[in-house]
Structure 1
Amino acid sequence: MINKISKGFWKKTARIILRNRIIILLILLGITVFLAMQWKNMRFTFTEANLLPDHHPVNVEYNKFLDTFGEEGNLIIIAVKDSNLFTPENFNEWNKLSKQLQAKPEVDAVISTESLQKLVKNTEKHQFELEPLIKNELKNKAEVDSIKDELFLKLPFYESLLFNKKTHTIRTAIYIDKEIVNTSVRKDFVINDFEPLIDDFEAKTGLDVKVSGMPYIRTLNSQSIIDEISMFIGAALGVTSLIFFFFFRSFRATFISMIVVIIGVMWAFGILGLLHYEITVLTALIPPLIIVIGIPNCIFLINKYQQEVQKHGNQAKSLQRVISNVGNATLMTNITTAAGFATFIITESKLLKEFGIVASLNIFAIFVLSLLIIPIIYSFMPLPKTKHLKHLNTKWINTFVGWMENSVRNHRIAVFIISLIALIGSIIGIYQIRISGSLIEDMPQDAAFFDDIRFFEKEFDGILPVEIMVDTKRKNGVLKLTTLRRMEELETLIKEIPELSDPISVTNLVKYSKQAYYNGNPNYYQLPNNQENTFILSYAKKSANNADLLKSFVDSTGQIARITTFMQDIGTDKMEGIEADLWKKIHKVLPQDRYDVTLTGKALVFMKGTKYLVKNLVMSLALAIFLISLFMAYMFRSFKMIIVSLIPNILPLIITAGMMGFLGIPIKPSTILVFSVAFGISVDDTIHFLAKYRQELTKSHWNIRKSVYNALRETGVSMFYTSIVLFFGFSVFMLSSFGGTKALGGLVSFTLLIAMLANLILLPALLLALERNIANKQVLKKPNIDVLPKSSKE
């Protein structure tokens, strides 16, 4: 009954499409224009991808820190490691650069040698005052050397912040206005103001300026994403059109397919704008993804049209059969592909949820476009010429299909042995996979700013902030000497961890206050004793400047302090070990009954986000397998058939995971996507093959062997065509400068190639080996859905 309804529905659909061609084209044009008008709402992301849901405890703690101390990711750092900096001309230019940056409205503050303030004691007023290190322009080398000596030898407070004492690297800290750090204004400042000033300084002095800091890195990273979108779209169109033309040898067929996918890309951008979603490193992949997934739809539809024309030469009948026969199959395969992406919607990660929604919507949209546009355009054109149909009998394709048939017919044992060896080897490889939660690992490693990141890691022990927030549970509890000593003890323990930089906190300021009290003698850069503390605090309380310095380290009530350290770019395993080590040290020094301590910062938030995401993506993959299993069950009504159909689709995933382990490719947000994406696409081949196989069973009166070989010959060509398009289509992502996107492209391409071989060799071999238990009348006689309805005899 369902089959009759389905066949009737598709025949009616074919009539409606072909009888209302002009109206449908006008509707599609209207939708395209409407969605093109939504492009203005597209926004490129100006914040880091938050992989955790807003209500997650890690996010709650991080937001609590931001509420207390403000945005932490607003620091840009520039540095020079060159002895030629310490000449009067170059040093004055360095200080001039700081003044120019400070003059920009987007800059909140600049801490540099030019603006560096020394804390000095005013005995008459009994208070501390700030005195500039450099009062006038430096005129000779002796003055520069004097400033250099004072900086390196007498001002330990600024060590690690402004200089590396061992290598004499000098740096400047530029604090961007917190109000604009997550807006487009930041991008305009970095591209139009900041970079030209750096370039001008380098041209004048010949010095190499290293630049880092999250606002700068995020800006250039976002720009790289924007630049790559057009590259991906161009590469995907170029590669798929060349392959398509190579297979079909028809400019007309190639042109029609390109029209379909270009409109699909326009819709993809329009849907992003309509939903007001930001373009992130993931959603940027959707337009080229639509091209890669859309072309196989075009291959199936055009191939069927040309086959029908070759059979009887009747255009109207050919177009009607294209819609009624292939439309259903294409719908089913697009549903399974969309399901693979739609499973991301169940994750609580905003980043993945948006990616899943837009990708699944656009996959369905490209199906509708191909089903409507291809038959309608062909209906206005003359029948394909004989030369356009030659590819249907291409010798090398027939040779490939013959090789597959021979493998299934004569080498089934070898197929099973190779599959088993691959499975065992892959399981061994899986145990070698590591999880990576690095903020930096996926960034363009050939970019100049990536080299600068490594420079700062080497010179200043990292750029990824880790924040320890200490709540003393009482007003002004931070400045109690017992608290300061405990904090200093913790900081000493932190210095023992090689992956972390020297921490910065209020203890540094208190030590500096004692040094200033003793007339700047660096030997007194230490915490005061009880007696000294009384005198020093009396000076500090009268000093407005000291209060300004204090607010960077202590909240307004004096109850909560922060300890800031910076972490190197390390793997998740190491990061988790460091976090555990830190907590041990914290609990040892700051008893839980007296202090509430929070450990947060971008590095830790991203690590936790990666772990959370991996867990959610594993769940989404499991859901995709479950949903598609239900779909198979509904189609074939057999648990055994579900198992057989899943084997050639899960085996490629296991092989890919094993390869990742052997090649050292870590599990991270970008690479974990591979499995859901590849599974959703590869299962299409299984559906096509099994549907054709079931159809052949009916024709051959349940001759199983004959049906398997006929199905292999019938579907082999189309499956080979689409798999090659998908392989090279996803391979364009390997052009990316982002490690994650590159890995995604390579791994999906590899997985789909293995999946094609599994579906065309292993699946038929399994059907023949298990024919008595599975492939019988009872299992396949009355399917719920006829994916490939029998061609009518009309």
Structure 2
Amino acid sequence: MKAQEIYKKFVWQYQKVWLIIIFGFMIFCGWQVAHLPVVTSTDAIIPRDSLWHYYEKFREQFGADDGIAVVLHNPKGIFNPKTLAYIQKLTSVFEDVDEIESVLSLTTIEDIRGGEETFEVEPLIGDEIPTDPKTLAHLKERARKNPLIFRNLVSEDFKTTLLLLRTTYRGEDLNFENRLMHKVESILQKNPPPPSVEIHLAGWPVVNVNMAAYMNKDLMVFIPGCFVLLCILIYIFLHSWRAVLGAAVIINLSLIAAMASLKLVGGALSPMTSVLAPLTMALALADVIHLTVTYFKLSPRERSVSRAVAITWAPCFLTSLTTAIGFGSLLISRVPSIREFGSAAALAMFIEYFLTFTLFAFLLPWIRQGKFKLGFNKTLVEPLAKNYPWWSYKVLILFVLLFVLSILQIDKIKVDTNVIDFFHHSTPVYKDIDFVDKHLGGAQTIEISLENPKGDFLDPHLLKKIDEVARWLEKHPLFYQAISPAEFFKLMNRAFHQEDENYFRVPDSRELISQYLLLYGGDELAHFLNEDQNWARISARTPEHSSEKINEAITELNQKLAQVFKGTGVKYTVTGKTYLVNRTAEDIVKSQVESLATAAVLIFGIMFLVLRSFRLGLLSIPPNIFPLVVNFGFMGIMGIPLNTSTATISAVAIGIAVDDTIHFLIRYKRNRKNREPVSAVKTTLRQKGSAVFTTSLSLVAAFLVLGVSKFIPTVQFGMLSALVIGLALLGDVLLLPALIYLLRKFF
């Protein structure tokens, strides 16, 4: 039974049944969308592997390393009564927040003091704020001599200080940071700083919540903006308001289905998945355009929905399949949110295909009743077809030159993810983090976990090795300040020797260290040494955000740790939020090579099978490899790095770019049966040119909408995807016909 007869018998005759099914399905999708979670944490991109689970145990023991730094800056200096009183007030208010475990500030940080017969562990600044200059000068000098305070809580010029809000352990609560930031900002609004004091916020929660905020703002622009733009383009291309209304229905339903697919695959709306909405809306238009153009290009006597469906269902299914394969190749990634994005987008492609060949097909007779006119026929398609093949060799020379130039630029691409550079430099979040980086060495840390399964860390030999690593970190250009258990014992040793600076060192006696530990009555050491003294932590602050530089520094750090702890039995592990995020960024880029290779093999394999011609299969490769190579060359020239955003483009784009190649070659093969190559190409351009231009330019326009974002990865994804689709269009209407002419004898 022919496809036309099957469609008539099982679909067209049961329109009401299919409409009821579609209605029920969309109600189900709407329910799923209503319960789609929103994730605001970068935890969502970190693979749940052994390193993640170790990090969970680490922060359960020592506390979260991804707190909020509330930074106060006073050009007149922070050691004055009004500023210190404000710090005390904020500290007290923040300590009452459920999401905050403790607050480390000048009014809570431990100052270990000693004299001839005294040993005290008290906050640097007590309940009463001193007002006389001598006392303030004395406290300032004590702060200078305390490594827990100087260059850690206060800057070297004593004009900047921070309140470190240590968060409670939260497990998999991915909305935790959003709640926390809302409370912190509310407290700061209700408690404004004194004159001349400015406030800056930094830390992973600040970065994550701002990412989510920009994502929400983007979606408020992308969805309506993309929808309006696509509707305008449909009218420009087809000159039919009825076609606009019909396409608008499919675009909206496909959007709902895509968001529902994200929920069904266990995903959530996040910065990594936010581009799914405009992407699906644009792709939903492709099958609509091809079906509509085919329907109206049929002669009045042959024109019927079943006939148009019979001609287009197979190539449209193949384009949906290859696009889904491009998305599906992201399942190779170790990153949860990328896998969820790939799965949801792949599923959405088949739902969009189903809606086009049922609901939209049912609307075609109604659309036919209005005005209709195909765009691009006179302006682009007919001139191309009429003047073919005289432009073929000129096009080939141009494409070869551009291809070679791009190849030469690819080696300039760097693999680097800089989370802070994801924000425009004019945004408040970028300015705040940049300020903290410059004045206090940043708010993010690299954590080192040290375990001694056969003993403890009260051994002076091991404490000195820990101190050696901490001092090495402070001398490293990428790190600013390092705190370890050794700092506490050095402070206690100095205090027990009447504050003699010569004794600011790790004691040589285990008994003396044990005695210090018994006398120590503070809480801060617990963040760096566990109760059994067999698990220790070194925390090193860094102002660097480049994954490339941080990973290079971590490689050096691992070499240093291996050298220092060789033969001691101590197990060392580099961990922490910063380490995991940067490692994941590298994994994303590396896994995309596998994704691209997988997608290319599967997609071109399908092309060979569908075309049932090895030669035509080979012919499909250059027009689709060319856009990817030029894209990488452009990235090299412009200095755009391979990061968590740009690395996913190639695997996705190859699935989209190949769509028009499929439509062109399938129609060319049919036309080739009774025509010679040149005539077959001309006929194919006239038959498919309008649809190819319309779908490709619609995709380009939809991706360009992403350029209005203030979130740099979204801008890069949109601009580069638009470039790839635009180049793929040129590859299909110029390079492919030129290759057919060049190789006409071979084919």
TM-score by length of 1: 0.89
Find the counterpart in structure 2 of residue 763 from structure 1. 736
- Alignment pair present for 1:245 and 2:238: no
2:19 to 6, 16, 25: 25
Find the counterpart in structure 2 of residue 161 from structure 1. 152
How far apart are residue 411 of structure 1 and its match? Answer: 2.5
Q: How does 1:531-680 map to 2 (within 5 A)?
A: 534-535=511-512, 537-543=514-520, 545-546=521-522, 548-680=523-655
Letter in 2 for 1:360: A
- The answer on whether the counterparts of 1:43 and 1:276 sit within 8 Å (CA) in structure 2 is no
Three-state SS of the structure 2 residue aligned to 1:278 is coil
Listed one character per residue, the Cα deviations across residues 26-70 of structure 1 (whole Å, up to 9, x for unaligned) are 211111112212234311124324556433x54455445345434
Listed one character per residue, the Cα deviations across residues 80-100 of structure 1 (whole Å, up to 9, x for unaligned) are 243265553343223212211
Find the counterpart in structure 2 of residue 285 from structure 1. 275
Task: Go from structure 1 to structure 2 and tell me whether the alpha carbon gap of 1:769 and 1:144 turns closer, same or farther (over 3 Å shift).
Answer: farther
Task: Give the whole-Å Cα distance in 2 for the aligned partners of 1:440 and 1:514.
Answer: 40
Find the counterpart in structure 1 of residue 66 from structure 2. 73
- Alignment pair present for 1:748 and 2:724: no
Letter in 2 for 1:527: R
How far apart are residue 576 of structure 1 and its match? Answer: 3.3
Three-state SS of the structure 1 residue aligned to 2:573 is strand
Find the counterpart in structure 2 of residue 327 from structure 1. 313
Letter in 1 for 2:508: N
How far apart are residue 225 of structure 1 and its match? Answer: 2.0
- The answer on whether the counterparts of 2:267 and 2:337 sit within 8 Å (CA) in structure 1 is no
How far apart are residue 168 of structure 1 and its match? Answer: 2.6
Three-state SS of the structure 1 residue aligned to 2:417 is coil
Unaligned runs of 5+ in 1: 775-794
Task: Give the whole-Å Cα distance in 2 for the aligned partners of 1:657 and 1:629.
Answer: 20
1:189 to 175, 180, 186: 180
- Alignment pair present for 1:344 and 2:330: yes
- Alignment pair present for 1:368 and 2:354: yes
Letter in 2 for 1:320: S
- Alignment pair present for 1:441 and 2:432: no
Listed one character per residue, the Cα deviations across residues 496-555 of structure 1 (whole Å, up to 9, x for unaligned) are 211112111111111221233244x37357214436x74564243133x24x33221112
2:477 to 490, 493, 498: 498
Letter in 2 for 1:355: F
- Alignment pair present for 1:709 and 2:682: yes
Find the counterpart in structure 2 of residue 722 from structure 1. 695
- The answer on whether the counterparts of 1:10 and 1:323 sit within 8 Å (CA) in structure 2 is yes
How far apart are residue 132 of structure 1 and its match? Answer: 5.3
Task: Give the whole-Å Cα distance in 2 for the aligned partners of 1:642 and 1:483.
Answer: 65
Letter in 1 for 2:439: E
Unaligned runs of 5+ in 2: none
Find the counterpart in structure 2 of residue 523 from structure 1. 501
Task: Go from structure 1 to structure 2 and tell me whether the alpha carbon gap of 1:222 and 1:682 turns closer, same or farther (over 3 Å shift).
Answer: same
Letter in 1 for 2:347: L
- State the identity as a percent: 22
Q: How does 1:71-150 map to 2 (within 5 A)?
A: 71-83=64-76, 85-121=78-114, 128-131=120-123, 133-138=125-130, 140=131, 142=133, 145-146=136-137, 149-150=140-141
Find the counterpart in structure 2 of residue 427 from structure 1. 407
How far apart are residue 339 of structure 1 and its match? Answer: 1.2
- The answer on whether the counterparts of 2:64 and 2:167 sit within 8 Å (CA) in structure 1 is no
Three-state SS of the structure 2 residue aligned to 1:279 is coil
Task: Give the whole-Å Cα distance in 2 for the aligned partners of 1:50 and 1:189.
Answer: 17
Task: Go from structure 1 to structure 2 and tell me whether the alpha carbon gap of 1:157 and 1:435 turns closer, same or farther (over 3 Å shift).
Answer: same
How far apart are residue 602 of structure 1 and its match? Answer: 2.5
Find the counterpart in structure 1 of residue 221 from structure 2. 231
Find the counterpart in structure 1 of residue 745 from structure 2. 772
Letter in 1 for 2:37: R
Task: Give the whole-Å Cα distance in 1 for the aligned partners of 2:286 and 2:655.
Answer: 14
Q: Name the stretch that deviates more: 261-270 or 359-368.
A: 261-270
Task: Go from structure 1 to structure 2 and tell me whether the alpha carbon gap of 1:188 and 1:68 turns closer, same or farther (over 3 Å shift).
Answer: closer
How far apart are residue 758 of structure 1 and its match? Answer: 0.9
Task: Go from structure 1 to structure 2 and tell me whether the alpha carbon gap of 1:67 and 1:98 turns closer, same or farther (over 3 Å shift).
Answer: closer
Find the counterpart in structure 2 of residue 377 from structure 1. 363
Task: Go from structure 1 to structure 2 and tell me whether the alpha carbon gap of 1:277 and 1:599 turns closer, same or farther (over 3 Å shift).
Answer: same
2:461 to 482, 503, 520: 482
- The answer on whether the counterparts of 2:211 and 2:711 sit within 8 Å (CA) in structure 1 is no
Q: CA RMSD in A?
A: 2.6
- The answer on whether the counterparts of 1:157 and 1:512 sit within 8 Å (CA) in structure 2 is no
- The answer on whether the counterparts of 1:475 and 1:557 sit within 8 Å (CA) in structure 2 is no
Find the counterpart in structure 1 of residue 29 from structure 2. 35
Listed one character per residue, the Cα deviations across residues 267-305 of structure 1 (whole Å, up to 9, x for unaligned) are 222233334422222222212211010112221222223
Task: Give the whole-Å Cα distance in 2 for the aligned partners of 1:67 and 1:174.
Answer: 16
- The answer on whether the counterparts of 2:110 and 2:524 sit within 8 Å (CA) in structure 1 is no
Task: Give the whole-Å Cα distance in 2 for the aligned partners of 1:703 and 1:32.
Answer: 48
Letter in 2 for 1:496: K
- The answer on whether the counterparts of 1:401 and 1:716 sit within 8 Å (CA) in structure 2 is yes
TM-score by length of 2: 0.94
Task: Give the whole-Å Cα distance in 2 for the aligned partners of 1:439 and 1:171.
Answer: 22
- The answer on whether the counterparts of 1:106 and 1:180 sit within 8 Å (CA) in structure 2 is no
Task: Go from structure 1 to structure 2 and tell me whether the alpha carbon gap of 1:575 and 1:492 turns closer, same or farther (over 3 Å shift).
Answer: same
- The answer on whether the counterparts of 2:65 and 2:166 sit within 8 Å (CA) in structure 1 is no
Task: Give the whole-Å Cα distance in 1 for the aligned partners of 2:279 and 2:313.
Answer: 21
How far apart are residue 484 of structure 1 and its match? Answer: 1.6
Letter in 1 for 2:65: E
Task: Go from structure 1 to structure 2 and tell me whether the alpha carbon gap of 1:103 and 1:68 turns closer, same or farther (over 3 Å shift).
Answer: closer
How far apart are residue 706 of structure 1 and its match? Answer: 0.8
Letter in 1 for 2:670: Q
How far apart are residue 632 of structure 1 and its match? Answer: 1.3
- The answer on whether the counterparts of 1:74 and 1:177 sit within 8 Å (CA) in structure 2 is no
Task: Go from structure 1 to structure 2 and tell me whether the alpha carbon gap of 1:84 and 1:62 turns closer, same or farther (over 3 Å shift).
Answer: closer
Three-state SS of the structure 1 residue aligned to 2:645 is helix
Listed one character per residue, the Cα deviations across residues 330-385 of structure 1 (whole Å, up to 9, x for unaligned) are 21211111111111123333222211111100111111112211122334x37434
- The answer on whether the counterparts of 1:134 and 1:147 sit within 8 Å (CA) in structure 2 is no
Find the counterpart in structure 2 of residue 172 from structure 1. 163
The count of corresponding residues between Structure 1 and Structure 2 is: 747
Three-state SS of the structure 1 residue aligned to 2:412 is coil
How far apart are residue 671 of structure 1 and its match? Answer: 0.4
- Alignment pair present for 1:9 and 2:3: yes
Three-state SS of the structure 2 residue aligned to 1:312 is coil
Task: Give the whole-Å Cα distance in 2 for the aligned partners of 1:529 and 1:89.
Answer: 39
Task: Give the whole-Å Cα distance in 1 for the aligned partners of 2:415 and 2:237.
Answer: 41
Listed one character per residue, the Cα deviations across residues 419-466 of structure 1 (whole Å, up to 9, x for unaligned) are 111111111110101001334333454431221111121122233321
Task: Go from structure 1 to structure 2 and tell me whether the alpha carbon gap of 1:162 and 1:368 turns closer, same or farther (over 3 Å shift).
Answer: same
Task: Give the whole-Å Cα distance in 2 for the aligned partners of 1:377 and 1:119.
Answer: 80
Find the counterpart in structure 1 of residue 709 from structure 2. 736
Q: Name the stretch that deviates more: 63-72 or 638-647.
A: 63-72
Task: Go from structure 1 to structure 2 and tell me whether the alpha carbon gap of 1:178 and 1:703 turns closer, same or farther (over 3 Å shift).
Answer: same
2:447 to 453, 463, 467: 467
Three-state SS of the structure 1 residue aligned to 2:420 is coil
Q: How does 1:372-411 map to 2 (within 5 A)?
A: 372-379=358-365, 381=366, 383-385=368-370, 388-389=371-372, 391-392=373-374, 397-405=377-385, 408-411=388-391
Task: Go from structure 1 to structure 2 and tell me whether the alpha carbon gap of 1:576 and 1:106 turns closer, same or farther (over 3 Å shift).
Answer: closer
Three-state SS of the structure 2 residue aligned to 1:599 is strand
